[in-house]
Amino acid sequence: MSYDKNELNRRMDGAVATVKTELNGLRTGRASAALLDPVKVEAYGNVSPINQVGTVGTPEPRLITVQVWDKGLVKAVDKAIRDAGLGLNPQTDGQLIRIPLPELNEERRKELVKLAHKYAEAARVAVRNVRRDGMDALKKAEKDGKIGQDEHHKLGDELQKLTDGHIRDIDQALQSKEQEIMQV
């Protein structure tokens, strides 16, 4: 493997994007269509994301709706939402599924914050693994005589700055999500 700063940056950006998506899926007090992103529905012999079998909307701050396009899939969508482990209880009305969001109690908020911290730590580990791959590539390049010791240190410092920036992004996303969750 050769040292490619752009490739390492792309991989780190991927880890940050992943944690932001996971954090968006965590339920706060407000309704968000992103809350149903992890829900997959068994439809026509395939497993599809919920937004491919219906229109997801948030008409009120504490209500999510799913307008299912095919009448035959209403039960499958209802079951997928119930089985997704989000603690939601959908109510079916024809092809419209209403999902009221219950108030979060203090205990549930703390659980969500813990989960958010777990997601953020996994992303930090992913970013550090990318840094390690880059450092290994630099060591190998120096050993093979492709770069000198000074160049190795300069690139290593750049890589550390890149890593620190991505870790900072993850921490900021976590902090804002934590405030959002704890807000009553």
Domain co-membership, 109 together with 160: yes
- Same domain for 16 and 38, yes or no, is no
**Same domain, yes or no: 174 and 109:** yes
Domain boundary among 100, 129, 149: 100
Pick the last residue of a domain from 55, 85, 100: 100
CATH number of the domain that residue 37 is part of = 3.30.1360.40
Q: Which pLDDT tens digit goes with each residue over 22-73? A: 887 776 667 777 778 778 888 888 888 888 888 888 888 888 899 989 888 8
How many helices, marked H, and strands, marked E, lie in the chain? 4, 6
Domain of residue 126: give its range.
5-23+105-182
Alpha-carbon span 32 to 26, nearest angstrom:
10
Residue with tokens 């969500």: 112
pLDDT per residue as tens digits for the range 137-180: 999 999 998 899 999 999 999 999 999 999 999 999 999 988 88
Residues in Cβ contact with 172 at an 8 Å cutoff, skipping those fewer than 6 apart: none
Task: Using DSSP bridges, classify how beta strands 46-49 and 54-60 pair: parallel, antiparallel or unpaired.
Answer: unpaired
- Percent of the chain exceeding pLDDT 90 equals 36
Q: Say yes or no: 41 and 74 in one domain.
A: yes
In angstroms, rounded to a whole number, what is the distance separating the alpha carbons of residues 66 and 27? Answer: 17
65 with 156, same domain?
A: no
Q: Would you state the pLDDT for residue 109?
A: 82
pTM listed for this prediction: 0.66
Query: In angstroms, rounded to a whole number, what is the distance separating the alpha carbons of residues 122 and 143?
Result: 31
Distance CA 40, CA 21 (A): 16
Domain end marker among 54, 85, 100: 100
159 and 68 in one domain? no
Nearest residue to 72 (alpha-carbon basis) of 42, 111, 106: 42
Are residues 115 and 67 located together in one domain of the fold? no
CATH number of the domain that 138 lies in? 1.10.132.20
Q: Concatenate the DSSP letters of all residues of 135-151 into one string.
A: HHHHHHHHHTTSS-HHH
Same domain, 87 and 115: no
pLDDT reported for residue 43: 83
Residue 6 neighbours by CB distance under 10 Å:
7
Q: How far apart are CA 80 and CA 37, in angstroms?
A: 12
Question: In terms of domains, do 111 and 178 share one?
Answer: yes
Over residues 116-137, the pLDDT tens digits come to 899 899 999 999 999 999 999 9
Q: How many domains does the chain contain in total?
A: 2
Examine the domain organization and report whether 121 and 83 are in the same domain. Answer: no
φ/ψ (deg, to 5) at 173: -60, -40
* 109 three-state secondary structure: helix
What pLDDT score was predicted for residue 28? 66
- Within this chain, do residues 177 and 120 fall inside the same structural domain, yes or no? yes
- The pLDDT score that the predictor gives to residue 1 is 61
pLDDT of 81 reads 86
Residue-wise pLDDT tens digits, 67-115: 989 888 889 989 888 887 777 788 899 989 998 887 777 887 888 888 8
